[in-house]
Every structure is written in C-alpha cells, then in structure tokens.
Chain A
C-alpha cells in the first residue's frame, strides 16, 4: 500500500525523455515552472497544457500512474483552493451566510488549482523519467559553478542522492514492519487521532532503529572504500550533451518564448 506512493519515484521505461541528459530535464522543469508564473492569461495556460501533454506522451509513463501519485497532495490542493475561493476581495458573485464568493476568488481558485497540478505533474515527470543517481549527477554538474562561492556542491549532491536512494528502502522497511505488527494484531487504520498516533509507536521505533543501523552501515561501507568527499573524484559516466539534448534546449527556449509572447500579445 505504501509502495503505491508514486510521487517522486522513478518509472522504468524506454523513452526519449528518459534518455535526455538530466541537466536538460532539470532546466526543463525550471522553465516549465517559470512559464506557469509568467502570466494569468488563459491562453498561456493553454500553451502550457499542450506542452505538458506532449511531454507526458513522450515520457511513455502511463497517465493513470502519474495521477495516482497526486492523491497524496489532494488535501493541500483543497485547502489552497478553498482559501482562494472565499478570501479574495472583489466583485461578489454568490453570498451565503458569512461567506462570499467573488469573481476574482473564483478565478484565483481555478488558476491556483491548475498551477499546483501542473507544477506537481511537471516536476514528477522529471523524477519519473530520471533515476535518482542521474538527478544528483545532473545537479552536481549543473550547479558546479557554485563551487567558486565555496558551496560544497558535491557533498550536498551526495547527501541528496543518499536521501533519495533511501526513500524506497525505508518505504519497503515501513511496509515490512507494518505487516509484522499487523500480524501481531496492530491496527493502524481505525480509531481517533490520539489512538492512531499511539498506534504509530510500534511502527516508528523499529523504523528509526533500522534507519540508524542502515546509516551506520553505509557510513562504514563508504569509509572502508576510502570515500573522502568530492576532491579529485572522477565520474564513471561523465555527463555529456548529445544531439537530442541540444535540440531539447532549443525546444525549451521556443516554448518559453511562445508563452511570453502570448502573455504580451493576447488580451485574455
């Protein structure tokens, strides 16, 4: 059941997007996010929608699989939508009891919902098509210029990659411990808030113990293989741009230009 959480996990399939250089995908996600905030005009969102649909098609990740990962954030989405809906000042549309829905509120709510959805779909498209290793490699290389400001880019990337690597392992572990406790009659699903919080103890204690054990093992294993940080370290597979990466950059640039242009030109 926990393994059903697809948000932020890698989806193994052969596609053009999967094969792109991670730096391109990082940049692409950034560009896509920027494009969502360029303007509030409907046409811009239409362009973004077409772009997103094309990318999802290209990635060959089943749409249903992506949407399932979204369930985790439905709550956050509802809250923002409700706040926008009721708390935006402006021209009143409907009034009941103490609440007023304004025209601006409705507009804000709809656009916020779209923005949030696209934001998450866009960034999960990146994690779905890029292995955690590639992702951190891409970050390390792409942000390498920050080293001149004495930022430990390699170490940060390494920490990130370890953290990402551990997510599925810890999820699996959680699943296992949960089952082991359920086999002893533990109940994680029913009861009020306090009962449920208490029911987490038999899950969390073993989970922390195992996380620390794993962290310790990993630290030992890394030291035993003489890991000493990023200084003078070479890569087994250094990142290199290929023809398609360049084309992708061009497409990204065109996309952003198109969004900006429509934002300026279009009246709505």
Chain B
C-alpha cells in the first residue's frame, strides 16, 4: 500500500465569483504502516485533502497514485478504492441511518460486495475492536451517547477492512476520556493490525502523542513535513500560522531558560518526565 499525491490542486466553486483555492500544489507520499498526523489552522484544507484520498473529490489538476495506479484513469474502480481507504468524516455519527447499530455497520461491507455472512462477521469484529458494549449492538443508533455513536460510525468504516484509515478530527466534541479512548483505539489498530493511519487534528498533543510523522498545512499548502521533533522545533513558524507546539514543549523551553539542562525538543509528557528526571539527577 502506498499513496502518492502528485501536484494536487483543488478549487471549490470553479467558474464562479466565489472560487476558493483549497489545495495548492500538494505533493505527498503516504507509505505502508505510517501513522501520519495532519495539522493546520481551521480552513487550511485538511478535510479537502483527505477527501481526495478516496476519490470523493476530484482534483482540479494533478494525479493521485494508489499502489502505483492513477486513480483518475478511466475504468479505475473507485468503489474498491473507497474500501481500501477508509475515510471517517468529521462528526461521523451524522451518517448513521439504520434501524440498529449492527445493520448500520454492515452497510459498508455489503456495499463492497461481501456476502451477508462475511459482512456480518466483519461488522462484528469491527464493533468488537471499537469496544462498543455487546448489549448496544442491536439498539437504534440514535439512542447511543455521542461517544458511542462515534465509535459505531468508526466501526462502520473499519468493517470494510481498509488498508488505510483516514480520520478527520475524530475527537472533535468528545471529553478527554472519550478522546483518549478513540485515539488509543486508533493506535491499537495501527500497532496490532498494521493499518496505515492518517489522523487529522487540531490538537498538537494528539498528534505529538500518537503520530510518527506530521504534515503541517497552511492556506492549502504543505508547509512542513517531518517527525514530531523536527516539526515542533519550529515553534515560531507554527505560531505564525496560528498553531502551537504541545504544551510540554513550552514547559521544557521555559525550564531551559531558567537554567535547567533539559531537552527542549521533547514533545510528549512521557519524554518530558524522563528528561526532567535526568536533568535533576545530573544537577
């Protein structure tokens, strides 16, 4: 599995007075097994970009290659692509529609042409892996709580057995606990089942904690592309475009300024703890 974006441009409402250039010459590569964090200020084009990955939006110009095949070629099987690239939209719970949760989760795999039995099996294991309690499988999706709905919706995508899971702000509107659960779940899918993950987020903590690779977008362009350490060492540039580094990075900078010999490139709380202990030990 690999996805290559080659000079992708996208313009909304093309040919009217309200043209908006949402993507500007995007070149990217997503490799097998990556855990990518996609960050950017609101309106920077993150959602637009991820909708290109499974062909829901067609680039105004440029090409996208999935496993070396151009997805814009005539006769390319878009539906199969949408099975391989599982896209979880912002507020995915708004897509639930069936009488019960289980049927709703079956919707995707059935569309992928699985037999009823296979679809039900896939739905069952997807619901298990999002850790939705068993007694909720057969209630109406509209009776679930917000966090449970979100999990059911994510299961609806997972049940298609995607190779790449793309999540557009999966934690928006959840409490810290719900946030940790969803992200923990995504990490588990990545680590245990080897699914490639693209995580769109507003929260620097989220991506610093979970992603191995970060892409920063600004005004439809890719501004930076690198490991969390590389990205968050450019605090000033991030602040210029309305973003920030994780809070622990600021704390480490402040400690350093006050004369502690700590590592300022730290991005997660765990690393920070180690570095602070190390500094105190040596002092």
Across the two chains, which residue of chain B brings its CB closest to A204? B97
A65 engages B15 (CB within 8 Å) = yes
Determine whether the beta carbon of B16 is less than 8 Å from that of A65. yes
Contact call B82/A183, Cβ cutoff below 8 A: yes
Asked whether, in the complex, the Cβ of A180 is within 8 Å of the Cβ of B95, the reply is yes
Given A12-B17, A65-B16, CB of A185 within 8 Å of CB of B108? yes
Flag if A186 contacts B111 (CB, 8 Å).
Answer: yes
Known: A65-B15, A185-B79. Contact between A179 and B89, CB under 8 A?
yes
A206 & B82 in contact (Cβ 8 Å cutoff): no
Contact with B along A199-210 (1 / 0, CB 8 A): 001100110011
Known A12-B18, A187-B111, A202-B107; contact A180-B94, beta-carbon cutoff 8 A: yes
Q: Find out whether the CB atom of B89 lies under 8 angstroms from the CB atom of A11.
A: no
Within A38-76, which residues are at the interface with B (CB < 8 Å)?
Answer: 62, 64-65
In the bound complex, CA of A25 to CA of B56 (Å):
39
Per the bound structure, the CA–CA distance linking A65 and B19 in Å amounts to 13
B interface footprint on A153-186 (CB within 8 Å = 1, 0 otherwise): 0000000000000000000000011011111111
B94 adjacent to A210 (CB under 8 Å):
yes
Q: Does B170 contact A (CB under 8 A)?
A: no
Q: Kindly identify which residue among B18, B56, B97 contacts A183, using a CB–CB cutoff of 8 Å.
A: B56
B95-A181 in contact (CB<8A): yes
Across chains A and B, the number of contacting residue pairs, with CB separation under 8 Å, is: 64
| Residue B157 CB within 8 A of the other chain | yes
Tell me which residues from 151 to 185 in chain B have a Cβ below 8 Å from any Cβ of chain A.
156-157, 160
Tell me how far the C-beta of B143 lies from the nearest C-beta in chain A, rounded to whole angstroms. 12
* In the complex, chain A residues whose CB is within 8 Å of the CB of B15: 64-65
Q: Is A13 an interface residue (CB 8 A)?
A: yes
Indicate whether A185 sits within 8 Å of B94 (C-beta atoms), given known contacts A176-B89, A202-B107: no
Residues of B within 8 A of A201 (CB): 97
In whole angstroms, what is the CA distance A179 to B95 when docked? 10
Q: Write the chain A residue with the least CB distance to B50.
A: A183
* Distance in angstroms between the alpha carbons of A84 and B160 in the assembled complex: 52
* Separation of A3 and B16 alpha carbons in the complex (Å): 12
**Proximity string of chain B (71-112) to chain A, C-beta cutoff 8 Å, 1 when within and 0 when not:** 000000001001100110100101111000000000110011
Query: With the chains together, A206 CA to B95 CA distance in Å?
Result: 6
Q: Of A62, A65, A176, A184, which one neighbours B82 at CB under 8 angstroms?
A: A184
A residues 180-238 with Cβ under 8 Å of B? Answer: 180-187, 201-202, 205-206, 209-210
Q: How many residues of A contact B (CB 8 A)?
A: 24
Total count of chain B residues near the partner, CB < 8 A: 27
Interchain CB contact under 8 A, B82 and A185: yes
Which residue of A is nearest B110, CB measured? Answer: A185
Q: With A65-B15, A179-B89, A202-B107 in contact, is A185–B95 under 8 Å at CB?
A: no
The A contact surface, by secondary structure, is: helix
Q: Output the least CB separation between B89 and chain A (Å).
A: 5
**A85-B97 Cα distance, complex, nearest whole Å:** 46
A119 nearest CB across to chain B (Å): 23
Any A CB within 8 A of the CB of B51 = yes
B95 & A177 in contact (Cβ 8 Å cutoff): yes
Task: Give the distance to chain A from B103, nearest Cβ to Cβ, in Å.
Answer: 11
Instruction: Judge if B13 is at the interface, Cβ distance under 8 Å.
Output: yes
Residues from chain B with a CB closer than 8 A to the CB of A11 are 16-17
Q: Tell me whether B54 is interfacial, beta carbon within 8 Å.
A: yes
Contact among A65, A176, A184 with B94 in the assembled complex (CB-CB below 8 Å):
A176
Binary contact track B189-223/A, C-beta < 8 Å → 1, others 0: 00000000000000000000000000000000000
Q: Please pick, from B17, B96, B112, the residue contacting A185 in the complex, using a CB distance under 8 A.
A: B112
For the complex, give the distance between the alpha carbons of A201 and B96 in Å: 11
Name the distance in Å between A211's Cβ and chain B's nearest Cβ.
12
Chain B residues, CB < 8 A from A206 = 94-97
**Complex alpha-carbon distance, A34 and B161, angstroms:** 61
- Asked whether B65 is an interface residue with its Cβ less than 8 Å from the other chain, the reply is no
Q: Is B142 an interface residue (CB 8 A)?
A: yes
Chain A residue contacts of B112, Cβ below 8 A: 185
Whole-angstrom distance between the Cβ of A112 and the nearest chain B Cβ: 30
A186 and B96 CA atoms in complex are apart in Å by 13
What is the minimal beta-carbon distance from B283 to any residue of chain A, in angstroms? 53
The 8 closest A-B pairs by CB, nearest first: A185-B111, A205-B97, A184-B108, A180-B95, A183-B87, A180-B89, A179-B56, A202-B97
